[in-house]
Structure 1
Amino acid sequence: MEKEPRKLVFRVTPWIFLLVLPLFYADVVWRNNIQFEQRLHYISSTETISSTRKINTNETVGEKKESLDFLLSKLVKGEDQEKLKATGFACNTQVYSKHCIANKPVWIDTTTMTVTIPSNQPVRETVIRPYARQEDDVLLSTVTPVKILQGNTTLPVCQYNHEIPAVIFSSSGFVGNVFHEINEIIIPLFITTAQFKSRVLFIAEDHSPPFLKKYNNILSRLTSHEIMNPSANQTIHCFPGAVVGLKFHGHLALNSSDIPTGLSMSHFRQFLRESLNLKYHNVSQINRPTVMLLSRRTTRRILNEDEIVAMMEELGFRVMVVARAKVVSNLEVFSSMINSCSVFVGAHGAGLTNELFLPDGAVMVQVDLIGLEWAAANYYGNPARAMSVHYLRYKIEPEESSLLKVFGRRDHTAITDPKALPVQAGKEVYLNGQNVRINVARFRETMVEAMSLVRDLTL
C-alpha cells in the first residue's frame, strides 16, 4: 500500500510567520479593506461632478486635448492610428484581443452600455465585448457587450461631465482563478492604462466586488477615481475620450515592441512591487536561501511531499510549505511571502502565476506533468525568463505519474502521445486525474542546480 502523504495545510518557519502574518496582515490588510470600502461606492450623485485631478493649473484646454490625443493614439498604430486621427474613432482587432479608441467627446449611457460618438457621417454600430481574450467564444458569452454608435444621431443629455477618459472593461471571465485574473484583466489593464498615470475612470462591466477588493491596491494605482458599476449607476456620462476593451499581449506577457511602446515585464513587476509594498527587488537581498513549495490538495498532488521537503532542508534551504487555502487567496499576504523566497516550487497549475512576485534572480521550479508540456512552457516557463527569474523544468517520468497505474503500461498512447486524446478528455486525464510521486534522487539534482543559482547571491 502507498503511504498516505501527510495532510499539511501550512508549514512555515517562525521567522516568516512572525514577520508576515501578525504585522503585515493585521496592519496593511486591515487598512486596505477600509480603503477598499471607501473606493468601492459608485458615482450616483444627482449633481454634476468632475472626475479629474488638476495636475497643472496653467495647462490650457488645448494642451489638455493635445496631451489626451497623444496618449490615446498610442493605443493604436498604422492604419488604425491614421483612422483615429481622421475620424476620432478606431478599433484595433487581432486574433486574441480587440479594443476601440475614441479621442473625441463621447456620451456613455450606463443603463444600456451604449457609447455614442457624434459625427456628420451616417450612423455606424460597433459591438464589442470588453475582455482581453477574444478567441474563446464560451468565455466571451459571459461578458456583457458594449454598443458603440458613431455618426449623426440624437445625443442624450449629459448628467455628469468628466475631464478624463473612460476605460470600459469586464471583470467577468474566469474570475476566481489567479492565472486568468492577472493574465486577462490585470496585465491588460496595465498595458492599456499605465501611460495615463491614473488619470482615467474605470467602468467595470459585470461588476465583481470580490475581484475589485482582491486587487484594490493594484487598481488604485491605475486610476485615482472610484470604479464605476454601470448596472448600479444607470446615468449618462460625458467624457473627452474613451477606451472600450483591453489590449492582450499573450500569456503573462508584455511586448515592449507592441502598443503602447515602452512597457515591459520589468516595468510591470516594479509596478507590482510598489502597489503591494513588496520588500525585495533582488534575490541577493535575502539572507538565507528559502524555498516555497506550493502544495496542491486535490489534483496534481505531490504524493511524497514530506520526502521532498526533507531533501530540500538537507541541501540547506529554509522551507515553507503552503497549501492552496485562505492565505493563498490573500494577495497582500501571499505576494509578500513569495517575494521573500529564493526558489518557488510547484506542480503545473494556476498558483504558479505567483512567480510574478519573486525577486529578480530567484528560481522557479515547475514539476512538468505528462500531457501538460505545452501549457507548462507557455504559461509559466517562457514568461519566467522575461521576469528575470531563472526557470528550471523537472520533467517527470511515467513511473512518477499516477497515470501509469491507470493505463497499465508505459507505451500506452495516453502516455506516449497525449495530443491524441480529445481536448476535454485530455483535460480530465492530465489536469484533473493526475498526481505525482517524485523521484527524490532525480529531483535533488534540480534543487542542487537551483541552490547553485542563488547561493552566491545570498551568502
Structure 2
Amino acid sequence: MGKESKRPSCGAAVTICLFLLPLLYIGIRRSSSWQSDFSSLSSWRMQISHGSGGLSSKNNTESIEMEGEFSKPFQRLVRGKERRELDTTGVSCFSDPLSDVCVIKQNVRIDTSTMTVYIAPENQPPMQYTVRPYARKTDNTCMEAVTPVEVRTIADDNRPACQVTHTVPVVVFSTGGFASNLFHDFNDIIIPLFLTSRNFRSQLMFAVTDFMLSWIRKYHPILAHLSSYDPIDTTKDRRVHCFPGAVIGLKYHSDFTCNASDVPGGYSTLDFKRFLRESFNLKDRNRTEAAFTRQEDQKPNLVLISRRNSRQFLNEDELVGMARELGFHVTVASPQRVANLQKFAQVVHSCDVLVGAHGAGIANSLFLPEGAVLVQVVPLGLNWASTTYYGDPSRAMGIHYLEYQVTYNESSLSDTYPPDHPVIADPNSIHLQGYRVSRAVYVDGQNLRLDLARFKETLLQAMQRLRWSAR
C-alpha cells in the first residue's frame, strides 16, 4: 500500500474552495465599500492612525527638502510683496477680508495635539501668526467654532521630533464654522479648497481641524480628486507630522465665485464646475447642444426644490400642476432627496430649469449644465442675500438667471405684520438689529404662497430662455 499523499483529494479541495469563496467575496466587498464611501468607521480611523499614505521612506526624524515639483504651486498662491517674501524667507502670511493664509515653502512640523506649526528660523525673523483656517473670519459667530492654528518660528533643537514624516505638502483647513450647510460647504470651504490646492495636482495631503466624519464622507468625491492621500483627522491623530511645505488656511476669492485673474490665477467658476463634473462623474452636458437634439415631443425637465421647515411653498401642488400644464416634466426634490448629494447632483445635471426659494438648496445650481435656467424665488427681506450669493455668481456659471420677488400678499409675514410695519416697509432696519433678529423673521419665520398667474409669467420666460439657448 503506497504512502498517503499530503495533498488533499480533489473533492476535499473543492469543498475548501467553496468554503473560502464567500469569505474572499466579503473581504473584497468590504475593501471596495471603504474605498467608495468610508463606510467602515473603524477602518477609516485605523487608516488615519497607522496608514502609510504619503510617508517618507527616510527616518522620520530627518528633514525633507522641498522638491522642485512642489515649488511652483506654492509660488502661484502669492503675488507681489508676498511672492518676494516667500522666495526670500520661505514663508508668507497674509490676510484678505474673509480669510488668513500662511504659505510655507520649507520643512514644517505640525503638532496636531496643540495645532502648532513649527518652522525653522533659517531666513525668517522670529514670528508668531495665528490662523483660523476657515474662510469667513469677519463672522464672529462662525469663527467661534473654528480651532485656531498657531504658526511660529523656533530653533531646530527646540522643535518636537517628527513622529510621522510625509513626502508631500499639506493644506490645513477646518470643517467647523457653518459646515453642513450646503451653501457654506461650497462657499466657505470647497471652492477655496479647490483654489488653494488644485495647482498641486493631487500631490498633497489635507489636515482637517474640527474634523466631521459625516462631512468628509459627503464630499469624499471632491477630496479624492484634490488629493491622492487620506486626510488627517487632527482631533484623533495627536502626533507630530512633518511635511516639506504647508498652506495653513484657504484662499478665498468672492461669494460662490472663482476669479481667474486673482491668485491663484487661471481658475474660473466654469473651471470649478468642470471639476465638479469630474468628481461626481457627471456626463459632460451642454444645455445649448442638448436643445438641438431634443425631440419635438420631449419635455424640458424642471426640478423644484421642496422645503419643509421654512420658506416652503404652501401651494406647491398647484405650482407643480401649473408647470406641467406649461409643458414641463416636473421633479419635486424633497429634503431627503436633496440630502443625498451624489444622487441629487445627477438629477440637477439632467434638468433644464431649477426652481427654489432662496436658501442653501439653491447651491445645487453648481451642478446645472451650461445653458440651463435658475429661477430663484426671493422672499421678503432677502433681496440682497439672494442677488449677492446666487444671482450675481450665476452669470459666471454659464446659466441663465431669473428672479421672482414675492409680494406682500404672497408671504406669510402678511398674516402677522401690517404693510406699514418696519418688517415689511423697512427690512434694512431689521437687518441692522443683527443677523439673529433678521434670520428669525425673514429666514426662519416666513413661508410662501405664490401667485400662480404671476409666477406663470416667470416660467414662460424660462421657456423662452431655453429656446434662445438653442438658437
In which range does the TM-score fall when normalised by the shorter chain?
0.7 to 0.9
TM-score when scaled to structure 1? 0.87
Deviation at 1:108, TM superposition (A): 1.3
Q: Which has the larger radius of gyration?
A: 2
Deviation at 1:203, TM superposition (A): 0.4
1:309–1:241 Cα change, 3 Å: same
Gaps of 5+ in 2: 1-31, 58-63
Instruction: Give 2:68's aligned amino acid.
Output: E
Paired position in structure 2 for 1:11: none
Paired position in structure 2 for 1:313: 324
Paired position in structure 1 for 2:225: 221
Does structure 2 conserve the Cα–Cα contact (< 8 Å) formed by 1:40 and 1:226? no
CA deviation profile, 1:77-120 (whole Å, cap 9, x unmatched): 11111111111111120111111011011111122211111024
Paired position in structure 1 for 2:129: 126
Paired position in structure 2 for 1:329: 339
Matches within 5 A, 1:42-61: 42-45=47-50, 50-51=54-55
Deviation at 1:269, TM superposition (A): 0.3
Deviation at 1:34, TM superposition (A): 5.2
1:289–1:456 Cα change, 3 Å: farther
Residue 270 in structure 1 maps to residue 274 in structure 2: yes
Deviation >3 Å, runs of 4+: 28-31, 34-43, 48-53, 120-123, 455-459
Deviation at 1:50, TM superposition (A): 4.2
Paired position in structure 1 for 2:175: 171
Paired position in structure 1 for 2:460: 448
CA deviation profile, 1:273-308 (whole Å, cap 9, x unmatched): 010011242124374311011111121111111111
CA deviation profile, 1:47-91 (whole Å, cap 9, x unmatched): x874489xxxxxxx99x7333222101111111111111111111
- Alpha-carbon distance in structure 2 between the residues aligned to 1:262 and 1:442: 42
Paired position in structure 2 for 1:412: 421
> Which has the bigger relative contact order, CA under 8 A and spacing at least 6?
1
1:165–1:31 Cα change, 3 Å: closer
Paired position in structure 2 for 1:391: 401
Paired position in structure 1 for 2:357: 347
Does structure 1 conserve the Cα–Cα contact (< 8 Å) formed by 2:412 and 2:447? yes
- Alpha-carbon distance in structure 2 between the residues aligned to 1:356 and 1:260: 21
| SS of match in other structure, 2:232 | coil
Does structure 2 conserve the Cα–Cα contact (< 8 Å) formed by 1:201 and 1:226? yes
Instruction: Give 1:89's aligned amino acid.
Output: V
1:319–1:266 Cα change, 3 Å: same
Does structure 1 conserve the Cα–Cα contact (< 8 Å) formed by 2:55 and 2:164? no
Residue 202 in structure 1 maps to residue 212 in structure 2: no
1:36–1:83 Cα change, 3 Å: farther
| SS of match in other structure, 2:67 | helix
- Alpha-carbon distance in structure 2 between the residues aligned to 1:394 and 1:189: 32
1:303–1:270 Cα change, 3 Å: same
Does structure 1 conserve the Cα–Cα contact (< 8 Å) formed by 2:99 and 2:251? yes
Paired position in structure 2 for 1:103: 105
1:388–1:118 Cα change, 3 Å: same
Matches within 5 A, 1:60-209: 65-120=67-122, 123-153=126-156, 154-209=158-213
- Alpha-carbon distance in structure 2 between the residues aligned to 1:374 and 1:342: 26
Paired position in structure 2 for 1:3: none
- Alpha-carbon distance in structure 1 between the residues aligned to 2:56 and 2:183: 32
Gaps of 5+ in 1: 1-27, 54-60
Deviation at 1:231, TM superposition (A): 2.5
1:315–1:50 Cα change, 3 Å: closer
1:231–1:396 Cα change, 3 Å: closer
| Paired residue total | 421
Deviation at 1:174, TM superposition (A): 1.4
CA RMSD, Structure 1 to Structure 2 (Å): 2.4
Residue 250 in structure 1 maps to residue 254 in structure 2: yes
Identity of aligned residues (%): 41
CA deviation profile, 1:375-428 (whole Å, cap 9, x unmatched): 0001111111110010000111112111122112x3333212100112332221
Paired position in structure 1 for 2:304: 293
- Alpha-carbon distance in structure 2 between the residues aligned to 1:36 and 1:194: 28
